[in-house]
A and B are shown apart, each in its own frame.
Chain A
């Protein structure tokens, strides 16, 4: 295997970033789009080649060492890449979906003045994301981890002249930093325990340890806090819905398909460590389930099409963490894969809708678009069915694998999962029905200009729709006579999961229940939004208490505001007004005052009388001599 060419995969997007970044004002839009998409396509092709080489190779893990980045005493941190089945799949997702979204962006962003800047950022993001998944130790992973955070910030605040967008970017950045701190602390602790941060050195050591170790639980918990920030889990998820301020392709690429799954990738990568800490695993499962349920509840009443998708993303990420918590690592990773397909598809579809309606995002002003946006409707419908978990679309397989494992772990978690699946199906179809069915509720002027998107936007939609439809075939469970290809593939990366000990009939029953829930939800949504033609009421209109709770996102932002920001503000004000202004300034000014007043009185000693000075000198000399005399005697 020619691992020596591995560096090309991340470096190509970096090259694109440099060219697009430097030439953003001079290159034509065509050239920028061509370079931006071309480098990602090249990376994708390389990734595919490597993938096939890896699948035919006996050895499954390749470490490529470039140089020693940090070398201090015992601490040696090389800049090196690890290419194994896990990173191979991640490479394919990132470069493949990334390429489609680049193509899509050439049309979506065509009118934007910051076209070159946008592509430069996108390429930079791809570069960092590739570093994240290729790093062979936690520090290199952390470079990518921070880098994608930076790109996320830059792209959320892409239209930074709008101050609420800019503050959304800041919010995302700050929330991520909270998580990053946890991640860093976890890494430090890990270094203390294992004396190394190389995956290849840490995991074999961890594999020999006994489960239930407290240190391991803390490491796991800290890493999980990092994942919480990056992958938008309770209590740090509120940044993701606000991140929809960025352009839609960004939402699709960063906040649905790739970056937010970094937390899952990291935990799956460190599965050996997490297996040692059952407490941490339980916490992850509970947090994941809670996030899935709460986000789904919030999504029920949202009116902004992108917000619905954002909460849906949070909810699905919660699913993945539920899977990780119950030990279904490959199941979760499978869900990452299918979710990347259908959520990217849904976001791009929503982008196409928004694009055709001249940046109208409120579903109350949509409706009846089915006839005018045929391709968009068809592809989005596939994505919606996939996320709702209707067989044989991809979401069904991945979701049910997680649910089966959850059931084996605890039926309560399974119940929450099924409830969430029910809600998911409901709000997704609510979104579809409100957008595409009924009558158009916007202005006439807009209605006349509705048009199907150009080819460069619809082709990625079609490709993603195909993937969303058939992606589930990658890991057909044994109950259907499948061979679980993905699970086998991932064993090469030492990512395994608990064996499913349920009988096939139990498994079928579980699937039946969740599919039934989804179908019921779809029918409910149909009767409510198509038959009765209900439309969400205006912001100020009265709502029932539950609706209000959901519409206002459980008042989470307000709660954070009250319990964190306000005390912090009060604390800072206290420090500013009292400690800084009074104490510190008082000290400094007091010193100046003392010196001033002291010298005012001291300078009176300078009488100008020479005799007096000499007198003082003599007294000084006498004192010195006395001292000498006394010290000798």
Chain B
């Protein structure tokens, strides 16, 4: 297979990502986004980051994407009702993006390392190893992230709650 797996998957990612951006229908965008995330999961697998691959699969493809779909369905936005931006603005946006990628790659050239990736420790991305990291040096941030999630949950509930007339 060689390295061609990476390039193949990478090409797929780029295509799907473009489709996300340029699809007219938001539902299609979401579906393409799921495909993009799937290709990312493959990338993680290729890097032997098994834990991340699993988490990416569950959290992004599962939870987050379902959320997006739910919202779209709830708001009944599955039609292409987006008023078109002017063509000029689109072109300007694309040009700006082009400039960005050129300058990004250009400026990263000096820091980029042409060496091939070498996995020195095959256990690096395994659950056991990362679990030790998380509950060792990163104990506090890990616990704090739970608070973050809790507050996000509370915030989401509070925001979407319909205002009662009595309160107004």
Asked if A and B touch directly (CB within 8 angstroms), the answer is yes
Instruction: Name A's B-contacting residues (CB within 8 A).
Output: 611, 615, 618-619, 621-622, 625-626, 628-629, 632-633
Is B100 close to A, CB under 8 A? yes
* B114 lies within 8 A of chain A by Cβ: no
CB within 8 A of B107: which of A618, A619, A629? A629
Q: Write out the residue numbers on chain A whose beta carbons fall within 8 Å of the beta carbon of B100.
A: 618, 621-622, 625
Interface positions of B (Cβ within 8 A of A): 89, 92-93, 96-97, 99-100, 103-104, 106-107, 109-110
Q: How far is the CA of A619 from the CA of B96 in the complex (A)?
A: 7
Cross-chain contact B107 with A615 (CB below 8 angstroms): no
* Inter-subunit contact A628/B96 (CB<8 Å): no
Residue of B nearest to A629 (CB): B107
A615 touches B103 (CB 8 A): no
Cβ-defined contact, A629 with B103, below 8 A: yes
Main secondary structure of the interface of A (DSSP, over half): helix
The answer to whether B93 touches A628, judged by C-beta atoms less than 8 angstroms apart, is no
Query: Separation in Å of the B155 CB from the closest CB of chain A?
Result: 21
Distance of A618 Cα from B103 Cα, bound (Å) = 11
The 10 closest A-B pairs by CB, nearest first: A629-B107, A625-B103, A625-B107, A632-B110, A629-B106, A628-B107, A618-B96, A622-B99, A622-B103, A626-B103
Min CB distance A621 to B, Å, is: 7
Whose C-beta in chain A lies nearest to the C-beta of B104? A625
* Contacting residues, chain B, for A629 (C-beta < 8 A): 103, 106-107, 109
B102: nearest chain-A partner, CB-CB: A622
Q: Given contacts A622-B96, A629-B103, A632-B110, could you give 10 more A-B pairs where the C-beta distance is less than 8 Å?
A: A611-B89, A618-B96, A621-B100, A622-B99, A622-B103, A625-B107, A626-B107, A628-B107, A629-B107, A633-B110
Residue of A nearest to B103 (CB): A625
Question: How far in angstroms is the closest Cβ of chain B from A626?
Answer: 5
B92:A615 contact, CB within 8 angstroms: yes
Output the least CB separation between B99 and chain A (Å).
5
State in angstroms the CA–CA spacing of A622 and B97 once bound together.
Answer: 9
Shortest C-beta distance, B106 to chain A (Å), equals 5
5 A-B contacts (beta carbon < 8 Å): A622-B96, A622-B99, A622-B100, A625-B106, A632-B110
Which A residues touch B92, using CB under 8 A? 615
Most chain A beta-carbon neighbours within 10 Å: one of B89, B96, B110? B96
Give the complex CA separation of A621 and B106 in angstroms: 13
CB pair A632 B96 closer than 8 Å: no
- Residue of A whose beta carbon sits closest to that of B85: A611
Q: Which residues of B contact A622 (CB under 8 A)?
A: 96, 99-100, 103
Q: Considering the chains assembled together, what is the distance between the CA atoms of A33 and B36 in angstroms? A: 105
A622→B96 CA distance, assembly (Å): 8
Which residue of B has the minimal Cβ distance to A633?
B110
Among A615, A618, A619, A625, chain B packs the most CB atoms within 10 A around the CB of: A625
Q: Which of A615, A625, A633 contacts B93 (CB 8 A)?
A: A615
A615 touches B106 (CB 8 A): no
A54 to chain B, nearest CB (A): 85
A611 to B104, CA, bound (A): 21
CB distance from A369 to the nearest CB of B (A): 100
Q: Give the complex CA separation of A629 and B96 in angstroms.
A: 17
CB distance from B94 to the nearest CB of A (A): 11
**Chain A nearest CB: distance from B98 CB in Å?**
10
Shortest beta-carbon distance from A292 to chain B in Å: 90
Report the Cα distance A626→B105, complex, angstroms.
Answer: 11
A618 to B102, CA, bound (A): 13
